Amino acid sequence: MKNIESLIKQYVMKRVLNKAIIFSFFLSFLVGCKKDCKNTTTQVERNSRYVPAEENLQARREFEDSRFGIFLHWGIYSEFAQGEWYLDNGKLQQEEYQKAASCFYPILFDANEWVRAIKNSGAKYITFTSRHHDGFSMWHTKESLYNIVDATPFKCDIVGELAKACKNDSIRLHIYYSLIDWMREDYPLGESGHYTGRKLKPDYVHYFQFMKNQIRELLCNYDGVEGIWLDGVWDHGKDQTPFDWRMEEFYEYIHSLKPQCLIGNNHHIEPISGEDFQMFERDLPGENKAGYSEGQMISQLPLEMCQTMNGSWGYNVSDQDYKTSRELITLLVRAASKGSNLLLNIGPQPNGELPATALQRLKDIGSWMKLNGESIYGTMRGEEYPWGVTTRKGKTIYLHVLEDTDNISLPLVKKPRKINGAFRYDIHKKVLTINHVKQYDVIKLDLY
């Protein structure tokens, strides 16, 4: 039986869990510590042909400092409300699926409202699906009539609206762009998209040019597109003759248009020359629970893990399995402690609204970030301990206590010249008792 005192302690603990604790040291403590370097490359990676421009390196630093972004999967697939793979999963015919375009009219869509809600969550960037595997373009492309302006009654350039809203609210915009196309004849059929009934006239030279033209539109016609997020390389992962996506050429083209544009590719392998950040799908860097990151080494580039708020990317009406706010905040903290951004996904509804639960989660994360953002933004990766994780910035170590515990131990790598003090971040300036300093190798803190 627990006594009353410990019950009270547990109650208090639950209320303050996830609150960061500042623990600050003098610089001398950090000298010689391996972890004291940013992930951002300041020089060209070994064996790399790509030399990032100065403005690209600056963009990498800003991106890395931002630590938190929101992923939006929105397209005509949202109308079927069964996720973004429904064309393939549902084995739909092309002609039937396309009818969704003719009735796409998201009457409640307001780019400014989306951006406001996202900004208030503390996120610093948005990654938006300009074109998913179903090949439907969410901007007024001249490369195909299968787009939001020419093929829907809505006739509103969604990428354009978002770009304006992001600019107004000073939030970065990245663009998701699928390398797969389940509708076009010239896309060489891979492992997915076999049931659409389209004619197959594989012509990668032609398709590659189409993609380049589309990317040029996205980068040059809209102000403020600062990143390209590519997806689909795995579609040709099992080809007998390795498929040549000509990605390095693609990257060169992108950087020739906009040197500062950050390129990432969800190919589930280590970055190749020309990429500016490394991404991890549904896993923290170094983990492979979702099964996409087997053997994927962690590079020196900025890192980004993407994860869903519920279990789906595109709106899925039957998926109410949302992670709790606490789980999402913990994920953000853990990502930061791995030196990684978190790109957290929302699937907007076909009526143009963000789901109410997603909005609530954004609010909760925002409240937490207002108080504790200092321990996340602009931090470097830290360490993992039984009680939680750390992040670091300059002379400060932020301790994120994620487990119920009354006291914690922080092993020190090097003897600090002086310890300034340990503060409970949530109740400012309350100095914690340092119970035990044994030759400066372990510091023990009583939390209550």
Nearer to ligand H79 among residue 229 and residue 368 (C-beta):
229
Rounded Cα gap, residues 149 and 141, in angstroms: 8
Q: How far is the CB of 195 from ligand H79 (least distance, A)?
A: 12
With contacts defined by CB under 6 A, name the span among 161-169, 195-203, 228-236, 355-363 that binds ligand H79: 228-236
99 phi and psi, to 5 degrees? -60, -25
Unique residue bearing structure tokens 């809600």? 117
Nearer to ligand H79 among residue 50 and residue 128 (C-beta):
128
Site residues (CB under 6 A) for ligand H79, limited to 361-390: none
Q: Which of 63, 86, 187, 234 binds ligand H79 (CB under 6 A)?
A: 234
Rounded Cα gap, residues 423 and 167, in angstroms: 37
Site residues (CB under 6 A) for ligand H79, limited to 180-199: 191-192
365: CB partners within 8 A, 6+ apart: 68, 121, 122, 325, 328, 329, 332
Q: How far is the CB of 429 from ligand H79 (least distance, A)?
A: 43
Number of Cα atoms under 13 Å in the Cβ half of residue 397: 27
Q: What one-character-per-residue DSSP string does 85-111 give?
A: THHHHTT--HHHHHHHHHT---TT--H
AA letter at 9:
K
Q: Which of 157, 231, 275, 319 binds ligand H79 (CB under 6 A)?
A: 231
Nearer to ligand H79 among residue 301 and residue 306 (C-beta):
306
Tokens describing residue 291: 């099964």
Nearer to ligand H79 among residue 231 and residue 276 (C-beta):
231
Nearer to ligand H79 among residue 41 and residue 192 (C-beta):
192
AA letter at 309:
M
Nearer to ligand H79 among residue 235 and residue 276 (C-beta):
235
With contacts defined by CB under 6 A, name the span among 30-38, 206-214, 229-237, 245-253 that binds ligand H79: 229-237
Q: How far is the CB of 363 from ligand H79 (least distance, A)?
A: 24
Q: How far is the CB of 430 from ligand H79 (least distance, A)?
A: 42
DSSP state of 391: E
Q: How far is the CB of 187 from ligand H79 (least distance, A)?
A: 14
Site residues (CB under 6 A) for ligand H79, limited to 94-153: none
Q: How far is the CB of 174 from ligand H79 (least distance, A)?
A: 12
Site residues (CB under 6 A) for ligand H79, limited to 299-328: 306, 313
Rounded Cα gap, residues 165 and 115, in angstroms: 7
DSSP3 helix / strand / coil % (the chain, rounded to 5): 30, 20, 50
Nearer to ligand H79 among residue 128 and residue 222 (C-beta):
128
With contacts defined by CB under 6 A, name the span among 44-52, 94-102, 213-221, 230-238 that binds ligand H79: 230-238
Residue of minimal Cβ distance to ligand H79 = 191
Strand duo 68-72 + 407-411: pairing: unpaired
Nearer to ligand H79 among residue 47 and residue 318 (C-beta):
318
- Contact present, 214 and 250 (Cβ < 8 Å): no
Total interface residues for ligand H79 by CB under 6 A: 11
- Contact present, 405 and 31 (Cβ < 8 Å): no
Rounded Cα gap, residues 160 and 139, in angstroms: 7
- Contact present, 434 and 418 (Cβ < 8 Å): no
Binding mask 340-359 toward ligand H79 (x if CB under 6 A, else -) reads: --------------------
Q: How far is the CB of 290 from ligand H79 (least distance, A)?
A: 9
CA dihedral 376→379→384→388, nearest 10 degrees, is -30
Radius of gyration of the chain from Cα atoms? 23
Question: Does 84 engage in binding with ligand H79 (CB under 6 A)?
Answer: yes
Q: Which residue ranges make up the site for ligand H79 (CB under 6 A)?
A: 84-85, 191-192, 231, 234-235, 266, 281, 306, 313
